[in-house]
A and B are shown apart, each in its own frame.
Chain A
């Protein structure tokens, strides 16, 4: 299959279950909501070393937020519910609580499984905190120096999908980065999915473990490194000198499929030779995303040959 003359590899992305929370941060204006959200999602590219993966999902209009202020929704993914709970306490406590004018709300109100970071964080109020119940949900008023920080007590937990991906193989660094940026732009603001790496793009595609260093959880995927082409069993065609990867985490399979379709289609630009995906032969996780069938799901996925 080709899309705009870009070869689509007959392979699939392999992903695994994760636990996810959606955090809605509001503030006096969009700037401060974003400031908090950027800190909230900092250093959260991969569970391998960051203990969670997080990124901004989308900007929210006033009518979409509980308090009618500008907001940002953030998705946070961890490998288990306990770990997710710890990350929420750490991150909300150190980034939203500290940020001027912000409030913090649950973005998964329908989820049955709940975590209670607000209950843990309320003690920052040192006994001066107070709670309010609005619409059946409890909120904590934590006194801070600019007034009060309002934190929802309980946050829903979803069983999400982590590790969706596609890999862009380009002729050179410039065209490959441009294609990856186009992918990110196409996926930006899509509901239920995030791209946790810097700017949504990863250059350090990894393999599990290490060929030389014991105890290393992950190391470079030499098969996709153009500088190692003559030294390894390279997976790169001869006309590919740059590779970038888009990694996706989503609240469900459908979100990832939609985002992959949009992202892959957008990436099929001049200078791009092929799109492939990372998998472990089906041994890593139960969620498989075959590139070709994903692109076939919509008639307007692009001009194919």
Chain B
């Protein structure tokens, strides 16, 4: 048993690998030799973790990955507990189906980070690709709980079909952000792309950097939403994010929609005063 498990990438990845076996909560019961032998897929070839990583430590749910693993996909799939730090970028489907614990990516991630997430905390210091916090292909629901905090920008369909949870984006979001959300909150400090909150039933899309509000959303009022203040205060404290008082205490324009559905959702647009 050790304090942590450290996976150090031996050489730059020349091919994409599927590394769904790298899961801190699973490492908690595995010795160093067992972790080395965990399967990794490179195309149709079955390899083991030790083919790519130097493994140090075992029987710990605290894991650190050192090296550029942007071509390693599916890391932390189904993570249920523990702590994971990735020292650089990570590949696609990072923390897919995560239900607990904390994952911290010091760089950026590929597409589908935190898809089908149901709990825990995912912090991406850089950017994230498309469908962050959305659902798996064909699923009726996106994330159903937990928190995703992206320091940079995200691609399209951020938080699509979200049922519950909190997705914070420090930069911009691409098209169709918060598409068809059922509940939950998506906060974008930058600008959001076309067709935000399209077909959303409930839930909140909060935008500080500019939004073209669809015609299917109707203006309700300008006010200081207490839940936005609570969420931003929490995020600033928990993730040490610098958010100006003008955002936390600011006035937001509330639009109700999407009128093409039950229309119980909202877009909250920050008003610069």
Contact = CB atoms under 8 A, between A and B. Distances in A.
Contact of B233 (A66, A141, A146, A148): A66
B166 interface: yes
A26 to B, nearest CB: 9
B248 interface: yes
A257 B39 CA distance: 61
Contacts of B272: none
Interface residues of B, number: 21
B182 to A, nearest CB: 12
Contacts of B238: 135
B185 interface: yes
A233 interface: no
A224 to B, nearest CB: 48
A139 B230 contact: yes
B148 to A, nearest CB: 14
A251 B226 CA distance: 29
B253 interface: no
Contacts of B231: 132, 134
Nearest to A63: B237
Nearest to B226: A150
A134 B229 contact: no
Interface string A115-154: 0000000000000001011110001010000111110000
Contacts of A69: 229
A17 to B, nearest CB: 33
Interface in A131-189: 132-135, 139, 141, 146-150
Contacts of B164: 133
B248 A68 contact: yes
Contact of B225 (A66, A134, A135, A148): A148
Contacts of B204: 132
Nearest to A65: B233
A45 interface: no
Given A103-B226, A130-B264, A135 B185 contact: no
Interface string B184-227: 01000000000000000010100000000000000001011111
A67 B233 contact: yes
B202 A130 contact: yes
A149 B227 CA distance: 9
Interface in A58-73: 66-69
Interface size on A, as a range, is: 10 to 19
Contacts of A68: 229, 233, 248
B234 A135 contact: yes
A67 B264 contact: no
A150 B224 contact: no
B24 interface: no
Nearest to B203: A130
Contacts of A139: 227, 230
Contacts of A141: 225-227
B224 A134 contact: no
Nearest to B119: A136
A135 B149 CA distance: 13
B242 to A, nearest CB: 14
B26 to A, nearest CB: 24
Given A133-B145, A134-B166, A147 B224 contact: yes
B235 to A, nearest CB: 9
B225 A67 contact: no
B114 interface: no
Interface string B257-273: 00000001000000000
A135 B145 CA distance: 10
Given A68-B248, A134-B166, A135-B234, A150 B227 contact: yes
B259 to A, nearest CB: 16
B230 A148 contact: no
Interface in B158-172: 164-166
Nearest to B245: A68
Contacts of B233: 66-68
Contact of A147 (B145, B185, B226, B264): B226
Contacts of A66: 230, 233-234
Given A67-B233, A68-B233, A132 B227 contact: yes
A130 B200 CA distance: 15
Contacts of A148: 223, 225-227
A96 B224 CA distance: 18
A130 B165 CA distance: 14
A44 to B, nearest CB: 26
Q: Which of B202, B204, B226, B238 has the most CB of A within 10 A?
A: B226
A202 to B, nearest CB: 37
* 3 closest cross-chain pairs (CB), A and B: A150-B226, A68-B233, A147-B223
Given A103-B226, A134-B230, A141-B226, 18 more contacts: A66-B230, A66-B233, A66-B234, A67-B229, A68-B229, A68-B248, A130-B202, A130-B264, A132-B231, A133-B166, A134-B227, A139-B230, A141-B227, A147-B223, A148-B225, A148-B226, A150-B226, A150-B227
14 contacts: A66-B233, A66-B234, A67-B229, A103-B230, A130-B202, A132-B204, A132-B231, A133-B165, A134-B230, A134-B231, A134-B234, A139-B227, A139-B230, A147-B221
